Structure 1
Amino acid sequence: MLSKEDNEILTHSAAGTPMGELLRRFWLPVLLCEELDAPGGTQKRVTVLGEDLLAFRDTNGRVGLVEPVCPHRGANLYYGRNEEGGLRCVFHGWKFDVDGNCVDLPTAPCHSNYKDRIKIKTYPTREAGGFIWAYMGPADKMPELPQMEFTLLPASHVFVSKKWQDCNWVQCVEGAIDTAHFSFLHMVIPKEGQDVASLLQHAAIGSQSVKNDRIRWVQEDPRPKFEINEFPAGLTIGGARIAGEQDLYWRIAQFLAPNHALVPSAFPGENYHGQTWVPVTDTSCWIYNYTWNPDRPLTEEEREACRKGLTVHAEIDENYYPLRGPHNDYLIDREAQRQGSFTGIQGVSEQDAAIQNSMGGIVDRTREHLGATDIGLVKFRQYMLKRAKALASEGQEPAEPGCAAHYAVRSGGWVADAGKKLEQVMVERFGHPYGYVGADLRQAAEKVQS
């Protein structure tokens, strides 16, 4: 369990809070690129870390993320005109570019330089991997974008989505790195003669392009033994289950600071998946989801499966809200729950959301009773609290933002001899103890580390 004080530090993300200031040291996704698809198109309201902002793509294609308040009389620029390289307030015509500069002040005398002293608050943005990223921290601390593999690939190899969730972002992260729950939450209960693996494949829970008994191993061993290694960008979390007399089935997740996690399911040749959780308020967040294949473009069938809720993705409406959510009890089917589905809820993403949301807006961690399979989330909490407290009390900047190349890692499954440690398994599976992608990126990461 956590103390009340530590739970508040862990979960509060507004400006001035320890965790809020830590999160602001990193680049965060704030929109899908498709949400601002047209130069000079309609601006969009955005709330990130409790701040109400306005995003727009100017007529030159540049993305701005600005405070929406016109400094003249306080009118909201959401109602402004997106025209010729900037946003113009419709109240008195003051105009601002993506860097927050006032580029036209028609109410001032022609010879006046008053506009040069007017500026609105703005945050730097970048586009990568189908996301618009923003940096909301001190300008002199701005790092490189994290080199997550999906951001380095052609768009044809990647599918991205996002969805809304009605709870604190931390309990979502904890659900993702708690890989023990797969033995229950996402499991199906077969009837006599039915095959569990085929049922899960039909339910789009996992790919079976690599033939093995991974589903049976997960079902038969609900007590995985965990080993956790820290590396320059986060934590590698390996959970090992019995897979025969001499072998263990490893499901290896990656937590990448401060708010990314890579799914532990993929075997070589399969698609990889990951998620990033961005706080809106302390009791709501956007979840950014990504599926990628480093070796080939995704097929249209795979993209359509993602749209229908494959793995980390959810079925959503035009506003990115899940079709199955707390507003309709996730369309839980009690008969299906009795007959085959452990939850009676359709979709892995929706099953996760139902449980995470059921804990309340912010779960009271002072009442928990943790066990051996919870070691991953314990390490995650210690990791994040240590860095938030060090920044708040000592001004110690986190090292991870400066290690952009270390974010190019993979997660996934593997079967190895029971005598091997996680680091050895990582070398077998990925060719590197951290799971780095490719020799060039590994060399770049090692150079950053040195």
Structure 2
Amino acid sequence: MLSYQDNQILTQTNSGTPMGKTLRRYWIPALMVEELPYPDCPPVRVKLLGEELIAFRDTNGKIGLVDEYCPHRKVSLFYGRNEDCGLRCAYHGWKFDFDGNCVDLPSEPPESNFKHNINIKSYPCEERGGVIWTFMGEPEHKPELPEQEWMMVSNSQRYISKKIQECNYFQALEGGIDSSHVSILHSGSVGGIGVSKKSSSTSLLAQDAAPRFEVMDTDYGLLIGARRNADDNQFYWRITQFIMPWYTMIPPFGGAPRGGHAWVPIDDEHCWVWSWSWTPDRDLTEQEIEQMKSGAGIHSLLIPGTFRTKANKDNDFLIDREMQKRGESFAGIFGLGMEDHTVQVSAGPVVDRSQEKLGTSDTAIIKARRCLLNAVKTLEKGEPLPGLNPESHKVRSASVLLAKGVPFNEGAQEALKLSEKDFEAV
């Protein structure tokens, strides 16, 4: 159980809030590169951490992320013209470059210097791994971009999607580090990530639905081990990382592609759910890509032209009671990612954690909450935040069988560490 006050701190991310200040110290995945596919393409609305913004790619290919509203009469720049290295307001033609500087005021006399006094909020952007990243904190605190494995592989080894989820970011993130629900909620749907229901990992998940958790603090966040009984001599460990401030990794199933997520606040009641699948040492196969596009796995089917899921709260997530009875999906919801999405949204936009009842299987969630709340205090003290060093992101999740009595972080050490040799290969 979390106090009402701590829950407020944890879930409120707008500008000026303690958590909002903390999250703005990290690079934020803002758009897929394909959303701004070419110079002078149409601008795109972006909302992050409660701020309404406009993204555009200028004539030279530089990316601007600026305040949505023109400072003249506060109309939306979404309707503006992206031309000649700037975004021009459709109302009076005020034009802004990618840094937010006003570069033209056609409604003012030629001799006026007024434009030199006009600028709008802007945030720097960089491209990496098929994603456009932005930094919304003070410029002097801008760190290096993170270097997770999926970001560094070739495009042919990576598949990325994003969607809007109608709940608070941490409410969604909690599901990403909760290995205990995998044996229940996802008991009928692991095939959606390319895993046979007869695979050894699937049977091990099924035979022990009550994992024991061990959680360790790290320089990037948390290392989380979920231990299940395998046989008289071994434990089956599913080991994942919570990388500050919103990343989770999915422990691999056999030879299936690896997976991970980022859970980024749009505002306090909505979040972006980023999902990525990748293979470290080969291209994704056509069959794997088609499976990802089908919506059966962690990547969800969307309403065309939007980032809203086809199955959503307005249609009860297209729940199929017959499929539920047959055991094809424990919840009767199509798609592994949508199963998570459904139950998380069903709890309401912001859960009141002061009313919950937690058990031993919630150890990782409790630690993750504390990790973020401690980061707020760390920032207030002026001390370094976890997860800002790109080197700390060079880790992998793991699924391993270890002899009973062997500490999971030691026994799985080679499987968890992304070596320099591996990183050079990608």
Return the TM-score normalized by structure 1.
0.90
Shift of 1:400: 2.5
Give me the whole-angstrom Cα distance separating, in 2, the residues matched to 1:399 and 1:373: 25
Distance in 2, Cα, partners of 1:73 & 1:181? 51
Q: Is 1:381 the equivalent of 2:369?
A: yes
Match among 310, 321, 331 for residue 318 of structure 2: 331
Task: Indicate if the aligned counterparts of 1:276 and 1:288 stay in contact, CA closer than 8 A.
Answer: yes
Structure 2 CA distance for aligned equivalents of residues 354 and 75 of structure 1: 36
Task: State the AA in 2 paired with 1:346.
Answer: F
Q: Where do 1:19-58 residues align within 5 Å?
A: 19-58=19-58
1:305 deviation in Å?
1.0
* SS of aligned partner of 1:285: strand
Give secondary structure in 2 for the equivalent of 1:116: helix
Task: Kindly provide the amino acid, as one letter, of the partner of residue 370 in structure 1.
Answer: L
1:143 Cα offset (Å): 0.6
CA contact (8 A) 2:244 2:386 kept: no
Contact 1:206 1:265 in 2 (8 A): no
On the 8 A contact 1:260/1:275 being kept in 2, the answer is: yes
Measure, in 2, the Cα distance between the counterparts of 1:259 and 1:441: 22
Residues 264-343 of structure 1 aligned to structure 2 (within 5 Å): 264-267=251-254, 269-318=255-304, 319-340=306-327, 341-343=329-331
Which residue in the other structure is 2:11 paired with?
Answer: 11
Return closer, same or farther for 1:8/1:355 CA change in 2, 3 Å cut-off. Answer: same
* 1:144 partner amino acid: E
Secondary structure of 1:400 counterpart = coil
Q: Which residue of 2 aligns with 1:420?
A: 406
Distance 2:383 2:103 in 1: 38
Q: Which runs of 5+ in 2 are unaligned?
A: none
How far residue 409 of structure 1 moved from its aligned partner, in angstroms, is 1.3
Q: Distance in 1 between matches of 2:26 and 2:400?
A: 31
Is the 1:64–1:123 Cα contact (8 Å) retained in structure 2?
A: yes
SS of alignment partner, residue 31 of structure 2: strand
The answer on 1:204 being equivalent to 2:192 is: yes
Which residue in 2 is equivalent to 1:61? 61
How far apart, CA to CA, are the structure 1 residues paired with 2:335 and 2:423? 35
Which residue does the alignment assign to 1:438?
420
**SS of 2:107's equivalent?**
coil
CA drift at 1:437: 4.0
Q: Tell me which residue corresponds to 1:121.
A: 121
What letter corresponds to residue 106 of structure 1 in structure 2?
P
Is residue 296–residue 334 contact of structure 2 (8 Å, CA) maintained in 1?
Answer: no
Say whether the 8 Å CA contact 2:193–2:292 is kept in structure 1.
Answer: no
Contact 1:406–1:436 (Cα < 8 Å) also in 2: no
The number of residue pairs the alignment matches comes to: 422
Q: How does 1:43-442 map to 2 (within 5 A)?
A: 43-188=43-188, 200=189, 203-208=191-196, 213-267=200-254, 269-318=255-304, 319-340=306-327, 341-392=329-380, 394-401=381-388, 403-430=389-416, 435-439=417-421
Output the CA distance in 1 between the equivalents of 2:160 and 2:422.
Answer: 25
The alpha carbon displacement at 1:110 in A equals 3.3
Q: What CA distance in whole angstroms lies between the structure 1 residues aligned with 2:8 and 2:211?
A: 30
The 1:428–1:69 alpha-carbon spacing in structure 2 relative to 1, beyond 3 Å, is closer
Q: Distance in 1 between matches of 2:13 and 2:384?
A: 17
Tell me by how many angstroms 1:47 deviates.
Answer: 0.9
| 2:129 maps to amino acid | G
Whole-Å Cα distance in 2 between the matches of residues 333 and 427 of structure 1?
42
| Amino-acid identity (%) | 43
Aligned-partner Cα distance in 1 for 2:114–2:419: 51
Does the 8 A contact of 1:149 with 1:437 survive in 2?
Answer: no
Q: CA RMSD in A?
A: 1.9
Structure-2 change in CA distance of 1:87 and 1:278 (3 Å): same
1:416–1:167 distance in 2 versus 1, CA, 3 Å: same
Q: Secondary structure at the match of 1:356?
A: helix
The answer to whether the 8 Å contact 1:168/1:282 transfers is yes
Deviations, residues 374-406 of structure 1 (Å, cap 9, x unaligned): 1000110111101113324x34452432x1121
Matching residue's letter, 2:346 = S
- How much does 1:38 deviate? 2.1
The Cα shift of 1:109 comes to: 3.9
Distance of 2:246 and 2:62 partners within structure 1: 26
DSSP-derived class of the 1:204 partner: helix
Greater CA drift, 110-119 or 306-315 = 110-119
1:284, distance to aligned residue in structure 2 (A): 0.7
Q: Distance in 2 between matches of 1:438 and 1:396?
A: 28
Q: Bigger CA drift: 170-179 or 320-329?
A: 320-329
Gaps of 5+ in 1: 189-199, 443-450
TM superposition shift of 1:285: 0.7
1:290 counterpart letter in structure 2: W
User: 1:348: Cα distance to partner?
Assistant: 0.7
CA distance in 2, matches of 1:21, 1:437: 33
SS at match of 1:297: coil
Find the aligned partners of 1:369 and 1:69 in 2 and give their Cα distance.
44
- For 2:184 and 2:263, locate their aligned partners in 1 and report how far apart those are by CA, in whole Å: 23
Q: Is the 8 A contact 2:375 2:386 kept in 1?
A: no
For 1:312 and 1:181, the matched residues in 2 are separated by: 15
- Please tell me the residue identity of whatever aligns with 2:315: N
Residues 221 and 386 of structure 2 are in contact (CA less than 8 Å); yes or no, is this contact kept in structure 1? Answer: no
1:192: which partner in 2? Answer: none
CA–CA separation in structure 2 for the residues paired with 1:120 and 1:428: 48
- Give the Å deviation of 1:440: 7.6
